[in-house]
Amino acid sequence: MIQVTNLKKQYKEAVVLDVDKLDIPKSECFGLVGNNGAGKTTLFRIMLDLVRATHGKVEIDSRDVSKSEDWKRTTGAYLDEHMLLSYLTADEYFQTLRKIYGLSEADLHLHLGKFTEFFNDEIVGKKKYIRDLSKGNLKKVGIAAALMGDPEVVFLDEPFENLDPSSQIRLKKLILQVKEASQVTFLISSHDLTHVTEICDRIVLLEKGKIINDLRDKSAMLAKLDAYFTG
């Protein structure tokens, strides 16, 4: 589904990302962990063509992301609040996306229905601009938006951050449901090792821009990561 080859990102002399090869098959739940400055967000941004790669390329569905834009229709992402149109209300934002993705009102209704519990009555039908929402609620809007339009790939950067414990648990359930139902490939970066090892089939550990571990054995993941981060 996603191939990364010889990817390198350099700011002047400093190499912030250096990934030789990374293959993410369809319907995998791919977790990305690493300390601050490891290059998690940069990797996601390059994969989404928001930042230019210095060398190498990223392909989604065998299409180079920097050459075409077709992949955007089947890719959902929420990295930070700048991806939202902050001057709309949440309802208006979903309506706008509905038009952009060419969905019907019924599709949208069905989609948002999945989030009823997650939203906890604080998002839909509220007369409040997105810019005035709390950080947790911003994240909820962004995640619901990223999952809109039946994407094949979904990127989430730190999805558990700023969410209250109930919402974190609901989000895990939601991701697992979506994955079961429609074979979506998830790419999730997180600092929360418990959550990410629970939902992901594979975890890649980044350190200073390099992949230093690629864990696929679900039973041993948490112990190995714990050992690494304890140092």
Partner 1 sequence: MLFELIRLEFLKSFRSTAFAKSVMVAIFLGFLAIMLLGYLLIAGLFLTRIIEQLAEGQDPIQVLNSGLIFFFLVEFMYRYFLQKLPVIELESLLHLPISKRKIMHMLLGRSFFSPLSIIALILFTPFAFSEISTQYGVSGAIFWLGTILFISWTLHWFMLWFKQRFEDSLIGVVIVLIVLLLGLGSAYMGWFNLGELVAPFFNFAMTSFIPLAIMFVLCSAGYYMAFSYYLNNAYLEDLAEEEEVRFVNQSVGFFSRFGMAGELANLEWKLIIRHKKSRTFLMLSAFLLLYGTIFYDNPAYQSGPMQHMFIFVGIFITGIFMIQYGQLFLSWNSGYFDFFLSRKDGVRNLVRGKYLLLLSISLLCFLLSIPYVYFGWKFLLIHLATFLFNAGIMIHLIIYLALWKPKPMDLNKGAMFNYEGVGAAQFLMIIPMMVAPYVVYLPFAMFFNFYAGLAALGTVGVVGIIFFNKLSTININRVLKNRYEISSSFRQEL
Q: Contact residues for partner 1 (CB under 8 A)? A: 45, 48-52, 69, 72-73, 75, 77, 79, 82-88, 92, 96-97, 99-101, 129, 131-132, 149
Look-up of token digits 């390329």: 57
Amino acid, res. 54: T
Q: How far apart are CA 187 and CA 63, in angstroms?
A: 18
Shortest reach from residue 81's CB to partner 1, in Å: 9
For partner 1, the closer of residues 51 and 222 by Cβ is 51
Beta bridge partners of 10: 15
Nearer to partner 1, 133 or 205 (CB): 133
Report the residue number, 148 or 203, with the smaller CB distance to partner 1.
Answer: 148
The minimum distance between CB 141 and partner 1, in angstroms, equals 12
Nearest in space to 42 (alpha carbons), one of 55, 53, 33, 31: 53
Shortest separation between residue 185's beta carbon and partner 1, angstroms? 16
- Strands 63-64 and 210-215, by their bridges, are unpaired
For partner 1, the closer of residues 67 and 173 by Cβ is 67
H or E segment and range at residue 194? helix 193-199
We find the least distance from the C-beta atom of residue 54 to partner 1, in angstroms, to be 11
In the bound state with partner 1, the residue whose beta carbon lies nearer, of 185 and 197, is: 185
**What's the closest the beta carbon of residue 215 comes to partner 1, in angstroms?**
28
Round to whole Å and give the CA distance between 161 and 56: 31
* Strand arrangement, sheet containing 55-60: 14-24, 2-11, 55-60, 63-64
145: number of Cβ within 10 Å = 21
Return the ∠ at Cα 95 (arms to 145 and 101), rounded to 5°: 65
